Amino acid sequence: MNALTLLASDPDKFTPPTPQELFELPPIGGIYWLTKPVILAVLTSIIVIVFCWSAFAKPKLVPRGIQNVGEIGYMFVRDQVARPFLGKDADRWMGLLLSMFFMIWVWNLMGVIPFIQFPVASHIAFPAVLALTVYVIKIFLGVKHQGGIGYFKNMMFPPGIPKGMYVLLAPLEFASNMILAPFTHMVRLFANMFAGHMLLAFFSMVGFWFLFEKLTPLGAAVGVLGVVMTIVFTALELLIQFLQAYLFAMLAAMYIGGALHAEH
């Protein structure tokens, strides 16, 4: 039973959920891999596919409805994400970047939709798969366009630096590009969605707990404050959800652009 439903129906039996209970969701139907995040991830993919198909399958000269929304999203990703880092190659990678941006955004929005209220990216496996995909594409393109030796040479030994500095700079550049970059790419999205979900859960539980369980003048004041803070943090979370989708796609474009063009 949902914790808030139990609280409203029988406060005496209610115990606040632990952080583990918020994120470690039980399998559905006894199938160990079929969990709520997996279902939401599949649902998100279907939503994005249907949206893109409806917007772009039969485009009209004067866009209306979903096509209009889709073109606004396309132009945003093209002008703010792809072109600054990919230049003339931007159009080639728009399919990947646009799909990634919309999918992550809808992943995140799942955290504020009533009765769903779980951001898919708060499970680290999902950002990890996307970050690993970008990582593999980056290395493949770097080796393909710059050569195996040339790719790592351009990465570890940038021109215009005193040769003595390479002793320190080369291993730092290697670690930064090959280890830290994909790790931070993954963790930035995961950590923001994890923390946001925790904050929303905390303030909503405070509000319901004091309004239903500790219904005293002081308890009611604390409960109202919890509800107000939940509303405020929900609005803030909506902004962060959009920004995290934008940043993830932007970093993907930056890594791909750096692999295509050594001067980047």
Give pLDDT tens digits for 24-36.
677 777 777 788 8
CB 40 within 8 A of CB 240: no
Q: Report CA dihedral (145, 150, 155, 159) to the nearest 10 degrees.
A: -110
3-state SS class at 228: helix
Per-residue pLDDT averaged across 19-25, rounded?
A: 63
Identify the band that residue 68 occupies on the pLDDT scale cut at 50, 70 and 90. very high
Min mean pLDDT across 17-26, 35-44, 111-120, 137-146 is at 17-26
Amino acid letter, residue 161: I
Mean pLDDT computed over every residue of the chain = 86
Identify the band that residue 216 occupies on the pLDDT scale cut at 50, 70 and 90. confident
Q: Give Cβ neighbours of residue 16 (< 8 Å, ≥ 6 apart).
A: 3, 205, 209
Whole-angstrom distance, CA of residue 159 vs CA of residue 161: 6
Dihedral of alpha carbons 50, 52, 53, 59, sign: positive
pLDDT given for residue 22 in this prediction:
66
